Structure 1
Amino acid sequence: MSELLRLAILGNSGSGKSTLARWVADQRGAALLDLDTVAWEPDQIAVPRDAGAAQADVLVFCQSNAQWVIEGCYASLVATVLPLGPRLMLLNPGEEQCLQNCRSRPWEPHKYASREEQDQRLAGLLAWVSDYYRRDGEMSLAGHLALYAAYSGTKRELTAQPSLESPPDELLAWLG
């Protein structure tokens, strides 16, 4: 029997975090938390929640589930769970792959009232995704790399999007 899975996935929008997180959670029967659901006020786009409340919600989720996967672009929320000793995965497939994934993503009803609203906000998302490689802060490549470098636990950076139809043996072994 494999060990309990506790996994934090960090990366840019469009890096494949949600897809990989859903796949891993399904494969392992783990609970899944999209950090967008605790970082923002419910039913409001781009209205941040109190950071302390969001961090508390993340900890409650992780402490309430034996196996879990969390994913998002919020270094501070991922940092909240690092004392619990999860595996940390940084998805860094590059700007062009992230932009391509954003252009082809399905409607996200937990974020947008309609597909049309999501499509209207696409240009802003694409600009934000591109800026990830140049800005500073917790939702930047620099912020993600700093958190990744500082973590002494089990970690892995993926610089190419893995095929989940035929996942590499190395990835499967790393996940346990």
Structure 2
Amino acid sequence: MKTLIFGNSGSGKSTLAKHLSQAHGLAHLDLDSIVWEPGKVAVQRPMDAIHASLAEFLVAHQSWVIEGCYGELVEAASAQCTELVFLNPGREVCLTHNRSRPWEPHKYASKEAQDAMLENLQAWVAGYYERHDPWSYYAHRRIFDAFAGAKSERESPAEAVTPK
């Protein structure tokens, strides 16, 4: 099983990935962990280092779940996945999930530091359907529509946390 989950921030990617990882004993890669400099907020690592980290993970694990919003990385990993899952519950659900998300210690030094970034995150999430960058709905839709293998798009919050 090699499941690749992508969508907007707050769509339920981490929740679903953690569930699948635990239920099936899969290695789990949150793409945030390879995109951003450790211990620094919103400082991206060099792209060659990001791609090298992704390649290392793919080689090191025979079964996995990968999750993230980074279109270019989703596209790179999709060549090796057995299932592609696009979580698309809508803007309001994503905004609500972000407001109630627990502290993510792998991203922020404290819950307070995470909360200090919330408004920036919410503004970015709110623009998901209007932006045309690699992390936008348009990029995600293109990747999903072009994928020829097993795939599903999940639109309701219940679907986002319940594997099909």
Which category of TM-score, normalised to the shorter sequence, fits these structures? over 0.9
Partner of 1:62: 58
How far, CA to CA, are the matches of 1:126 and 1:102 in structure 2?
7
**By how many angstroms is 1:78 displaced?**
1.1
- How does the TM-score come out when normalised to structure 1? 0.88
SS at match of 1:13: coil
Partner of 2:91: 95
1:135 aligned residue (123, 131, 134): 131
Structure 2 unaligned regions, length at least 5: none
1:51 aligned residue (38, 47, 53): 47
Q: 2:51 corresponds to which letter in structure 1?
A: Q
- 8 Å contact from structure 1 (residues 92, 158) kept in 2: yes
How far, CA to CA, are the matches of 1:61 and 1:36 in structure 2?
14
How far, CA to CA, are the matches of 1:85 and 1:19 in structure 2?
19
SS at match of 1:162: helix
Partner of 1:28: 24
- How does the TM-score come out when normalised to structure 2? 0.95
* Structure 1 residues 70-89: Cα deviation after superposition (integer angstroms, max 9, x where no partner): 00000111111122143110
- 8 Å contact from structure 1 (residues 41, 49) kept in 2: yes
* Structure 1 residues 121-172: Cα deviation after superposition (integer angstroms, max 9, x where no partner): 111111111011111111100110011111111111101122688x47xx1x
Q: Does 1:145 align with 2:122?
A: no
Structure number, greater radius of gyration? 1
2:105 aligned residue (96, 105, 109): 109
Q: 1:11 corresponds to which letter in structure 2?
A: G
The number of residue pairs the alignment matches comes to 164
SS at match of 2:97: helix
SS at match of 1:7: strand
- 8 Å contact from structure 1 (residues 13, 129) kept in 2: yes
**By how many angstroms is 1:57 displaced?**
1.1
SS at match of 1:41: coil
**By how many angstroms is 1:45 displaced?**
1.1
Structure 1 unaligned regions, length at least 5: 172-176
**By how many angstroms is 1:40 displaced?**
1.1
How far, CA to CA, are the matches of 1:22 and 1:142 in structure 2?
26
Q: Decide whether aligned partners of structure 1 residues 77 and 135 sit closer, same or farther in structure 2, where only a CA change above 3 A counts.
A: same
Q: Does 1:121 align with 2:99?
A: no
**By how many angstroms is 1:52 displaced?**
2.1
Q: 2:150 corresponds to which letter in structure 1?
A: T
Partner of 2:5: 9
- 8 Å contact from structure 1 (residues 93, 158) kept in 2: yes
Q: 1:46 corresponds to which letter in structure 2?
A: A
The 4+ residue runs of structure 1 with deviation greater than 3 A are none
